[in-house]
Copies of this chain bind each other. A is one copy, B any other.
Amino acid sequence: VADRRFFERSGPFKLGELASLADAEPAPGCDTDLIVHDTGSLESATGNEISFLENRKYLAAFENSQAGACVISTKDAERAPAGMNLLFSSNPYRSFALITRHFYPEKPVLGGRHASASIADTATVSATAEISAGVVIDDDAVIGDEVHLGANVYIGPGVHIGDGTRVGACASLEYCEVGRNCNFHPGVRIGTRGFGVAMDPRGHVELPQIGRVIIGNDVEIGANTTVDRGMGPDTVIGDGTKIDNLVQIGHNVEIGKNCIFAAQSGIAGSTKLGDFVICAAKVGVIGHLTVGSGARIAGMSGVVKDVAPGETVAGIPAGPHREWLRKQAYLENVAKRRGK
């Protein structure tokens, strides 16, 4: 039920086809010939639409759902309403995402350069790139095939942007190399000056920041997020990493592959993170640390020492999550006792 003013839908598709592209398994009795017209929420989906259940907070909605098909975990099958066609998935949310991408693929990049764009003579812009109104591309920049640059974007001198990358309106990219199929949202600032200030009673001195930002493939960077360029070494963001809105990535930070940063988190200079690290919202990590692969940092935590691979930390200062729970339980107890 997406608004046709904004989103174009493909399909319909057979349920079996959707199961296959979604790495999901039709449950016994599932009608794989069902014609599916759209995706929907558990509450809104009708008989020719498909939904999903991931967060068990919504089990009641699942039990009452009119959706013709649903992607779920096997363990939730017994709660399904009669007649619903079930697809089993080890990761229902991912399966649903893949199905939704099939119904609502990204808008194609049409190419063309708006007459109001200012493109330096020395820039190299693919003929298949789409350059919107008000875009400014500076000297020696290189823009790949099927890149989309939104309205009023600025691309600084020498920046390289890989094929298929999309840059939202009013964003600015400087001092960086960007891989393929990235998605940068409006107002993103990449390659901004690192905060290298030598403090001194005689007046602070700013250290020139002469590194770059190197961004891999399939990286997402949220609206108004800022990524500082390196001070000499580069700032690096690995393939598949997804960053939410209003996040700050400091100079020289090295981020591995497939990390997640929720909104308003911030990573200070020279910290190194492995792969598949998850930072929940509003996390702060101080500089010069190492955060191991698979580490998880709870929302609003302040990390002030290294985090081991796979560890889950919480609190300000952040420590092992189980210890944080104990501290909170203790204080909770104190508050209850003293409230009597």
Which of A27-35, A62-70, A150-158 contacts its partner? A150-158
Q: Binding site of A, secondary structure by majority: helix, strand, loop or mixed?
A: loop
CB pair B316 A336 closer than 8 Å: no
Q: Please, how many angstroms separate the alpha-carbon atoms of A94 and B334 in the complex?
A: 40
Return the contact of A207 from the options B97, B262, B263 (Cβ within 8 A): B97
Which residue among A175, A201, A263 has the maximum number of chain B CB atoms within 10 Å of its CB? A263
Chain B residues near A324 (CB-CB < 8 A): 335
CB pair A200 B94 closer than 8 Å: yes
Chain B residues near A106 (CB-CB < 8 A): 208
Contacts A195-B263, A199-B260, A335-B326 given: A172-B172 contact, CB under 8 Å? no
CB pair A98 B136 closer than 8 Å: no
Q: Please, how many angstroms separate the alpha-carbon atoms of A330 and B336 in the complex?
A: 12
5 closest A-B pairs (Cβ-Cβ)?
Answer: A94-B198, A118-B133, A2-B210, A136-B151, A323-B335
- Measured CB to CB, the residues of A under 8 A from B are 1-3, 5-7, 39-41, 44, 55, 57, 91, 93-94, 96-98, 100-101, 103-104, 106, 114, 116, 118, 132-134, 136, 138, 140, 150-152, 154, 156-158, 168-172, 174-175, 183, 185-187, 189, 192-193, 195-201, 203-208, 210-212, 218, 220, 222-224, 226, 228, 232-233, 240, 242, 244-246, 248, 250, 258, 260, 262-264, 266, 268, 276, 278, 281-282, 284, 286, 288, 299-300, 302, 304, 316-317, 319, 322-324, 326-332, 334-336, 338-339
